[in-house]
């Protein structure tokens, strides 16, 4: 899936910033692509970019309106349809990550047919992939893996991309989830791909590249999550990760949505190396990224020092302390 | 997906028995459900059951016509459409495992609408599953796993079911692939399920049961196959296997469709136990099933003896020597 920037971020009339998380994330990571926001009366989220009408957005070169909010249930509220139809009639493409397919709504399907604009349903994967081949391809890849879901895998991969690019390194974030697809303008929501094509989809997402090029591949789930481990394993095999960073949230007691306790970071390193060696025998853990927001600063620093010592790799909180050390390590190990 | 027996097996006009493999497999394992076959002029496959017209099949109580042949490419040959329309008009449901959705063919969609009969596209999974929870459920489950794809996992699970039932044990084959779904009348082609729902689908396929009940769960792929390992891992977690049997083909040098060599049986046992313990800490390997068709009988017996000694579990070729020893082991270990 390829989504053309620049974007107009549609936030609807959601009651808080949390409901606009996707839109705010796109603005955070791709401010240069986000020309403006479109908000309906009563909207309590604000991406702090110019409020633009559809007409003004078109005049400023916007190509795609991204629905960056969700309401409860992930369906499209009927009173958002007019804005989507207006965007299509003005020639914009429209992209959403909602559970409703845009084309399933007759007014929207008709408007897209009239204007020839594209509809992107990021949560659905209509693209046909090949099955993964596992044949080693050129280019370097760093995958973020986790002790659980929602422990900062996307954020860490994006932070690595930003830091690498600031150092002049050739690096691309590679999206495997819907928000990531909006942020990179390309990718696939890997959890929606038919099970046989997980690793093949990742081979497409992070294709053969220059030997000095880094892909920062967004991880999903955890090899230890009883709901989603299959996704994580296919992703690992497809990524052919040279390096991986383990993401962790130290205060969580059970994995998201299930009754299982979290694995140790050691468990995750060992199983990731054991399984990842199938498609890249040189796979290595190069860092640990901890979400320390529940800890005080001193406590966080102590924990990170302990983890760095125990696992002999840099450990940081990407949000609190940045990812400099993680990139230092990649540069020193891989020389590029 | 639930498909109502009894069946009329439609074989079309395929040039050989291989193209009718699905239909012949159903007749092998569920002769009591297969009232007759319907063949077009020139058909070179024969399931050795009565040739029946659609009218005769209806008169004998058939509920579903199963398309048991494929042509090259897995699409529906246009000259088979008339037979499918006639079956629907006669009130039969129609099931296929082809790559073409039945309802995508206007004449078939119209006939189904007229008669109210059901269309089953086993290769597609339209059913909504929950994500897997990994919570231990009652009942015993034996999963067949493999060193590769196509090494006898379905056959072994079906042979275990047959032997257990012949001993009066309470046992059900649980299908995770399309031929298996026809054979059991229920299940899902797990490779077509959206990646997030692999383990959840298996929790539905092999649900909570009486503590003395055995599910024989059909495995897919291999934890060591770079294309499909994600499917295999989600299946393992969803099955919560108490016992597993490793299936193997000793003369194969590379895994199907890729350049990778086969893992050892030891590798498969170790990784299956390590990963399977997430949802069932008591998981154990209880046997090895080898496809010895490329070996002479003495050579096959020697190999099986060596494997049984090396791994301290029974080793057999289910086709050549049956699965008695495998069931003996399950009865002695689990007492039921």
- Does B336 score more than 90 pLDDT? no
CATH, domain range A7-121 = 3.40.50.720
Residue B239 and residue B217 in contact, taking contact as beta carbons nearer than 8 Å: yes
Q: Roughly how many angstroms between the first and final C-alpha of chain A, as a whole number?
A: 29
DSSP sequence for A73-89: GGPPPGGGHHHHHHHHH
A15 touches chain B (CB under 8 A): no
**Rounded Cα–Cα distance for residues A286 and A154 (Å):** 17
Chain B residues with CB under 8 Å of A260 CB are 134, 278
Same fold yes or no, B7-121 and B140-334 = yes
Identify the CATH assignment for A140-334 out of 3.20.20.140, 3.40.50.1100, 3.40.50.300, 3.50.50.60.
3.40.50.300
| pLDDT tens, position by position, B89-140 | 999 999 998 888 999 999 999 999 999 999 999 988 778 899 999 999 999 9
B145 touches chain A (CB under 8 A): no
| Residue of A196, A237, A258 lying closest to B226 (CB–CB) | A237
A129 touches chain B (CB under 8 A): no
B205 touches chain A (CB under 8 A): no
* Residue B255 pLDDT: 95
Find the residue in B nearest to A240 (Cα): B226
Phi-psi region of A221 (alpha: psi -120 to 50; beta: other; left: phi over 0): left
Spell out the residues 6+ positions from residue B183 whose beta carbon is closer than 8 angstroms to its own.
B25, B26, B29, B30, B158, B173, B175
Cβ distance A230 to B226 less than 8 Å, yes or no, reads: no
What torsion, rounded to 10 degrees, do the Cα atoms B146, B148, B151, B156 define? 20
Residue B107 and residue B133 in contact, taking contact as beta carbons nearer than 8 Å: no
B229 touches chain A (CB under 8 A): yes
Could you tell me the maximum CA-CA distance found in chain A, to the nearest angstrom? 61
Find the residue in B nearest to A267 (Cα): B274
A151 touches chain B (CB under 8 A): no
Chain A residues with CB under 8 Å of B229 CB are 199, 233-234, 237, 275, 278
Residue A223 and residue A233 in contact, taking contact as beta carbons nearer than 8 Å: yes
- Phi, psi dihedral angles at A303 (to 5 degrees): -60, -45
Domain boundaries, chain A: 7-121, 140-334
pTM over 0.90: yes
Chain A residues with CB under 8 Å of B125 CB are 194
Chain B residues with CB under 8 Å of A199 CB are 226-230
Per-residue pLDDT of chain A (336 residues; tens, 9 = 90+): 799 999 999 999 999 999 999 999 999 999 999 999 999 999 999 999 999 999 999 999 999 999 999 887 778 999 999 999 999 999 999 999 888 899 999 999 999 999 999 999 998 877 889 999 999 999 999 999 999 999 999 999 999 999 999 999 999 999 999 999 999 999 999 999 999 999 999 999 999 999 999 999 999 999 999 999 999 999 999 999 999 999 999 999 999 999 999 999 999 999 999 999 999 999 999 999 999 999 999 999 999 999 999 999 999 999 999 999 999 999 999 987
Residue B268 and residue B274 in contact, taking contact as beta carbons nearer than 8 Å: no
Q: H or E element: which one contains B164?
A: helix B153-166
Chain B residues with CB under 8 Å of A275 CB are 223, 229, 271
- Does B73 score more than 90 pLDDT? no
A 10 A CB-CB count for B237 gives 28
């Amino acid at each position: 899936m390829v989504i053309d920037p620049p974007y107009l971020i549609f936030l609807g009339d959601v009651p808080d910033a949390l409901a606009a998380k996707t839109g705010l994330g796109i603005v955070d990571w791709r401010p240069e692509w986000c020309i403006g926001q479109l908000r309906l009366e009563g909207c309590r989220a604000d991406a702090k970019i110019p409020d633009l009408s559809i007409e003004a957005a078109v005049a400023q070169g916007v190509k795609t309106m991204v629905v960056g909010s969700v309401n409860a249930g992930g369906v499209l509220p009927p009173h958002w349809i007019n804005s989507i139809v207006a965007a299509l009639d003005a020639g914009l493409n429209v992209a959403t990550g909602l559970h409703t397919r845009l084309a399933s709504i007759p007014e929207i399907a008709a408007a897209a047919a009239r204007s020839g604009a594209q509809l992107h349903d990021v949560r659905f994967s209509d693209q046909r992939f090949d099955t993964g081949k596992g044949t080693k391809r050129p280019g370097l890849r760093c995958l973020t893996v986790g002790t659980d879901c929602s422990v900062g895998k996307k954020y860490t991969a994006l932070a690595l991309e930003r830091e690498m690019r600031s150092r002049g390194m050739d690096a691309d974030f590679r999206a495997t989830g819907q928000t990531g697809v909006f942020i990179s303008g390309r990718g696939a929501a890997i959890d929606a791909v038919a099970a046989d094509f997980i690793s093949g989809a990742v081979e497409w997402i992070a294709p053969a590249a220059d030997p000095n090029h880094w892909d920062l591949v967004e991880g999903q789930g955890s090899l230890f999550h009883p709901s989603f481990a299959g996704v994580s394993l296919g992703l690992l095999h497809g990524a052919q990760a040279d390096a991986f960073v383990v993401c962790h949230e130290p205060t969580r007691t059970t994995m998201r949505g299930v009754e299982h306790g979290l694995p140790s970071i050691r468990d995750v390193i060992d199983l990731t190396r054991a399984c990842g060696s199938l498609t890249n025998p040189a796979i290595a853990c190069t860092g640990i990224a901890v979400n320390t927001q529940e800890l005080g600063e001193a406590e966080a620093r102590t924990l990170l020092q302990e983890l760095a010592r125990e696992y002999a790799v840099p450990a940081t909180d990407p949000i609190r302390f940045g990812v400099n050390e993680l990139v230092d390590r990649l540069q020193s190990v891989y020389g590029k």
